[in-house]
């Protein structure tokens, strides 16, 4: 006995281990199976889904797990906190799975966050909650008294909605010895009770027989159902109706029209009269079948009351009875098979879908989960899903009826910002039926595009002297991204212009890209400004691009011509306005002078033209229009004045034109003496109304007075020393130690003036002048006293040996008798002081080279 128990215990362990392994295998492959009895209240526990999927309940809740079912009714739900699968309503197996031996409800658990689906099968086990029942509680059976013993009379079957051991198991008959009960098993295993006549009937003995038929199921405790049978004994009618065939079978398509006649039964009775008249009726037909089929009792035709649906039922089997007036009958079986017609389009359901996806999502990203089913069967129920459009998405099969829509390549929002993906489901029928589902998907932007300028480079022309804050140009950049990533801001790159920061010259408006000038530009200072403008978007990280901007300053005529030669009176210092020499023997066209002028502007604004505006003697001189050269227009005549004043106007070509004037003094002279004589008379104003002449005369007078005062002071000092020497007692060598330079004569004055000797060069090509002193200009006019150990030479000694004394030095009395040198060698003192460059110059030291006048003088 112990060995037997150990063997049973080992078998149970193995069976339990197999069940555990099967459950683990099914969970690993995404399928869970549970079993619950029927009639459980709402919210009853079915299974621990979280535990079986090796997930935490919080994980299921956070990832949006939910239960979906292909049927319209939701029988189960997922408890959010515990992760348990519970019933959503009371489950009645007989209502859910009528006529099905094994009742299985299927549903799926969809985890939104992981885009995964798990299949769940729940088997509803039967409980003995239904007792067997007969469709008719009281039946009346009529039979002839001529019925032979052993005759069988089919009885109505009892119906038990339960299955298995809880279903109908047996029948019992009670009430009369004339009849017995026989139970036959059909091809489908169904038990069919039959009443067997065990003993001959005698109507005169008993016209009625009361029987009780009891149906018993196998539940614990067993449930029963009863039907009363009343057997009426009829008078003799020895011929019963006979069907032409025992089984009537017909195949009809499911789309057969309503009210169509499916088939007609035929039964004949050999009797005549009322005993030979046959009527037809269903025997033991269910309410469901009675709503679909109608049997004409007179003709035996079976007519369709409502449309057939292959998906609801593919075959129907019924029993029909033909009986005569004497209540004799025959029974036949009618089998109606329904063939499938492709009348159901595929049902495509979006179980889960995304509405937005980032454009940088990698290929293979799941965007939707679809469920598809077709209620047809066979080829008509085979469904194929496809995406017809050329979109970056493809279908991936998950489970039997589930597809996922995944990305097939990288997305680009700048190419397509929204997708309407249409998924088609087509069955294999002919003609094929199909349905569709549309997925609306918006592509989210990623900052993957830098701003792009409308032009590769920009340039603008800005007139000089512009107003501060003037708009120069506007740069434009576009960003193909969207939202904040496409918001472009502009700024200047760092740089310097003429040592100053670029930002002090120009600025750019950050939002519009407008470039403004912050200061007024001067073409003569800045002719071109090169800068870089950066456009930066608002992404993170930000992307940027640069463009070069070239700003050209356009010259305007804002500078008048500037005369370089002859210089103006203010630049000449002591009133020099330009003195030129023209020989009276000059030929027509001889070059006299050249007016040199420049214009700080450029281009046409700097093109200069010269014209003679005013002349003392019109027609004597002319000016080159573009060269500025002053030439003689004709040979000078004896009647022409020796001194001529020329006013030359220099104009540029701007609009409006600006001009400047230059004044030249031309002296007609054949020799230097004539030139100096004319210059000496310059103190007398040639034009009394000229301010330049007045200032020149005043300057000469002031300098002359100072020079005369200096000479008088010097003479007084010499006389005072001479007088003191006369008051001393006479002695030999009394005049020793007196320098010979203390005796001043004409040559002494020349020696004094020699210290102011210099050279002056005036050029016509610039404002520059060159002044060079003579080599011996640093010598003292009055030499210092000789050392005491060396006696000074006497007045009567040879003065040529004394240091610093000129060779022709004489005593005062003698020097006063020395005749004056001719005027050609020495000028008046006021001219020497007023015009240091014209101290004394011998004849022949005056020259003119290439329009350059050079005056050299050396005493």
644 near 622, Cβ under 8 Å? no
pLDDT at 748: 38
Place of tokens 């078998």: 11
Of the pLDDT bands very low, low, confident and very high (cuts 50, 70, 90), residue 729 is low
Higher pLDDT, 835 or 511: 511
Q: How far apart are CA 530 and CA 545, in angstroms?
A: 17
Average pLDDT, the chain: 77
355 near 441, Cβ under 8 Å? yes
pLDDT at 407: 94
Environment class of 461 (CB within 10 Å of its CB; exposed 0-12, middle 13-18, buried 19+): exposed
For residue 453, list its beta bridge partners: 477
* pLDDT (mean) for 413-441: 91
pLDDT at 271: 74
- Cβ neighbors of 1 (< 8 A, separation 6 or more) are none
Of the listed ranges 57-66, 334-343, 524-533, the least confidently predicted one is 57-66
Residue 65 has pLDDT above 70, yes or no: yes
* pLDDT (mean) for 827-842: 41
Q: What is the dihedral of CA 129, 134, 136, 140, to 10 degrees?
A: -150
Query: Does the reported pTM lie above 0.95?
Result: no
528 near 491, Cβ under 8 Å? no
Residue 757 has pLDDT above 60, yes or no: no
Environment class of 314 (CB within 10 Å of its CB; exposed 0-12, middle 13-18, buried 19+): middle
Q: How far apart are CA 609 and CA 623, in angstroms?
A: 10
Q: Measured between alpha carbons, how far is residue 622 from residues 504, 687, 751 in Å? A: 50, 22, 45
Q: How far apart are CA 799 and CA 814, in angstroms?
A: 13
Q: How far apart are CA 323 and CA 330, in angstroms?
A: 6
* pLDDT (mean) for 682-703: 67
Angle at 333 between CA 236 and CA 189, to 5 degrees: 110
pLDDT at 822: 40
Q: In the numeric block, which tokens belong to residue 674?
A: 């004539």
Tens-place pLDDT, residues 168-192:
788 888 888 888 988 888 766 778 8
What is 652-682 written as a DSSP string? -SSSS--EEEEEEEEEE-SSHHHHHHHHHGG
pLDDT at 746: 36
Q: In the numeric block, which tokens belong to residue 178?
A: 């004339």
411 near 389, Cβ under 8 Å? no
Q: How far apart are CA 513 and CA 474, in angstroms?
A: 5
Q: Helix (H, G, I), strand (E, B), or coil: what is residue 426?
A: strand
pLDDT at 672: 65
Of the pLDDT bands very low, low, confident and very high (cuts 50, 70, 90), residue 324 is confident
- Cβ neighbors of 621 (< 8 A, separation 6 or more) are 592, 612, 615, 630, 631, 632, 633, 644, 646, 666
For the chain, the residue count is 859
pLDDT at 455: 93
* Residue 426 CA from chain centroid, whole number: 41
Q: How far apart are CA 771 and CA 760, in angstroms?
A: 5
Residue 40 DSSP label: P
* pLDDT (mean) for 373-377: 85
Q: How far apart are CA 23 and CA 826, in angstroms?
A: 142
Angle at 305 between CA 301 and CA 308, to 5 degrees: 105
Of the pLDDT bands very low, low, confident and very high (cuts 50, 70, 90), residue 107 is confident
Run of H or E residues at 51: helix 49-52
Residue 807 has pLDDT above 80, yes or no: no
Residue 820 has pLDDT above 50, yes or no: no
Q: In the numeric block, which tokens belong to residue 557?
A: 């005529």
Residue 787 has pLDDT above 70, yes or no: no
Tens-place pLDDT, residues 647-691:
999 999 888 899 999 998 888 887 666 766 766 665 444 444 456
pLDDT at 456: 93
Of the listed ranges 224-228, 278-282, 631-635, 680-684, the least confidently predicted one is 680-684
Tens-place pLDDT, residues 257-304:
999 999 999 999 887 777 788 999 998 888 888 889 999 999 999 999
3-state percent helix, strand, coil for the chain, nearest multiple of 5: 15, 35, 45
Of the listed ranges 304-313, 556-565, 664-673, 797-806, the least confidently predicted one is 797-806
The candidate with the shortest Cα–Cα distance to 206, out of 237, 176, 173, 227, is 176
Environment class of 127 (CB within 10 Å of its CB; exposed 0-12, middle 13-18, buried 19+): middle
* pLDDT (mean) for 714-722: 89
Q: How far apart are CA 774 and CA 753, in angstroms?
A: 12
Q: In the numeric block, which tokens belong to residue 468?
A: 């501060």
- Cβ neighbors of 381 (< 8 A, separation 6 or more) are 374, 375, 427, 428
pLDDT at 228: 92
pLDDT at 616: 87
pLDDT at 68: 84
Q: How far apart are CA 396 and CA 367, in angstroms?
A: 11
pLDDT at 27: 46
pLDDT at 511: 93
Rg (CA), the chain: 70
Residue 736 DSSP label: T
pLDDT at 235: 66
């Amino acid at each position: 006995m112990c060995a037997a128990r150990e063997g049973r215990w080992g078998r149970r362990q193995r069976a339990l281990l197999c069940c555990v392994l099967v459950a683990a295998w099914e969970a690993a492959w995404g399928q869970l199976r549970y079993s619950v009895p029927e009639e459980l209240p709402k919210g009853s526990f079915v299974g621990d889904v979280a535990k079986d999927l090796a997930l935490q309940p919080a994980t299921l809740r956070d990832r949006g797990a939910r239960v979906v079912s292909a049927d319209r009714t939701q029988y189960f739900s997922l408890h959010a906190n515990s992760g348990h699968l519970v019933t959503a309503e009371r489950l009645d197996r007989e209502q859910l799975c009528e006529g099905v031996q094994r009742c299985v409800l299927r549903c799926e658990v969809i985890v939104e966050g992981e885009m995964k689906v798990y299949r769940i099968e729940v088997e509803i086990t039967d409980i003995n909650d239904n007792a067997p029942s007969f469709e008719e509680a009281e039946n009346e059976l009529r039979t002839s008294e001529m019925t032979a013993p052993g005759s069988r009379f089919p009885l109505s079957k009892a119906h038990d909605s339960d299955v298995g051991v809880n279903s109908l198991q047996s029948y019992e008959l009670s009430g009369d010895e004339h009849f017995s009960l026989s139970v036959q098993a059909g091809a489908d295993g169904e038990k069919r009770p039959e009443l067997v006549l065990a003993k001959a009937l005698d109507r005169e003995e008993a016209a009625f027989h009361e029987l009780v038929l009891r149906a018993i199921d196998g539940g614990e405790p067993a449930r029963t159902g009863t039907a009363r049978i009343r057997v009426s004994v009829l008078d003799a009618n020895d011929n019963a109706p006979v069907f032409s065939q025992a089984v009537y079978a017909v195949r009809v398509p499911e789309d057969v029209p309503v009210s169509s006649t499916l088939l007609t039964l035929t039964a004949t009775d050999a009797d005549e009269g009322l005993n030979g008249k046959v009527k037809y009726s269903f025997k033991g037909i269910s309410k469901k079948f009675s709503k679909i089929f109608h049997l004409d009792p007179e003709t035996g035709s079976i007519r369709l009351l409502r449309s057939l649906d292959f998906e609801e039922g593919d075959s129907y089997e019924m029993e029909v009875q033909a009986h005569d007036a004497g209540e004799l009958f025959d029974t036949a079986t009618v089998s109606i098979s329904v063939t499938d017609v492709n009348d159901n389009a595929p049902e495509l359901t979006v179980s889960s879908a995304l509405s937005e996806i980032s454009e940088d999502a990698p290929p293979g990203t799941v965007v939707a989960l679809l469920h598809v089913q077709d209620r047809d069967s066979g080829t008509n129920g085979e469904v194929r899903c496809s995406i017809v459009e050329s979109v970056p998405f493809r279908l991936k099969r998950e489970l039997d009826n589930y597809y996922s829509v995944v990305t097939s390549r990288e997305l680009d929002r700048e190419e397509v910002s929204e997708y309407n993906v249409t998924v088609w489901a087509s069955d294999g029928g002919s003609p094929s039926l199909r349905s569709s589902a549309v997925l609306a998907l918006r592509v989210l932007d990623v900052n993957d595009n830098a701003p792009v300028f409308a032009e590769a480079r920009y340039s603008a022309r800005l007139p000089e002297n512009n107003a501060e804050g003037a708009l120069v140009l506007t740069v434009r950049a576009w960003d193909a991204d969207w939202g904040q990533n496409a918001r472009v801001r502009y700024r200047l790159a760092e740089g310097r212009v003429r040592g100053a920061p670029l930002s002090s010259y120009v600025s750019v408006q950050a939002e519009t890209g407008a470039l403004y000038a912050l200061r007024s530009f001067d073409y003569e200072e800045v002719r071109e400004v090169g800068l870089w403008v950066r456009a930066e978007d608002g992404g993170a990280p930000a992307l940027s691009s640069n463009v070069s901007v070239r700003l050209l300053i356009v010259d305007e005529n804002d500078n008048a011509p500037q005369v370089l030669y002859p210089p103006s009176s203010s630049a000449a210092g002591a009133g020099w306005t330009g003195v030129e020499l023209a020989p009276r023997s000059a030929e027509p066209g001889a070059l006299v002078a050249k007016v040199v002028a420049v214009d700080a502007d450029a281009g046409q604004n700097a093109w200069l033209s010269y014209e003679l505006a005013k002349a003392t003697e019109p027609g004597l001189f002319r000016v080159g229009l573009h060269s500025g050269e002053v030439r003689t227009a004709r040979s000078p005549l004896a009647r022409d004045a020796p001194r001529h004043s020329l006013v030359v106007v220099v104009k540029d070509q701007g609009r409006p034109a600006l001009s400047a004037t230059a004044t030249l003094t031309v002296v007609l002279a054949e020799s230097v003496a004539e030139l100096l004589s004319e210059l000496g008379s310059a103190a007398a104003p040639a034009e009394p109304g000229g301010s330049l002449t007045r200032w020149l005369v005043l300057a000469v007078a002031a300098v002359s007075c100072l020079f005369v005062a200096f000479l008088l002071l010097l003479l007084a000092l010499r006389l005072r020393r001479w007088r003191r020497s006369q008051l001393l007692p006479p002695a030999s060598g009394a005049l020793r130690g007196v320098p010979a330079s203390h005796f001043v004569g004409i040559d002494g004055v020349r020696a004094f003036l020699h210290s102011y000797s210099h050279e002056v060069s005036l050029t016509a090509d610039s404002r520059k002048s060159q002044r060079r002193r003579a080599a011996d200009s640093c010598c003292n006019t009055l030499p210092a006293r000789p050392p005491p150990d060396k006696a000074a030479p006497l007045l009567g000694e040879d003065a040529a040996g004394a240091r610093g004394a000129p060779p022709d030095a004489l005593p005062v009395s003698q020097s006063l008798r020395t005749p004056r040198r001719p005027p050609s060698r020495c000028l008046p003192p006021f001219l020497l002081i007023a015009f240091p460059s014209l101290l004394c110059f011998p004849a022949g030291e005056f020259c003119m080279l290439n329009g350059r006048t050079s005056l050299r003088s050396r005493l």
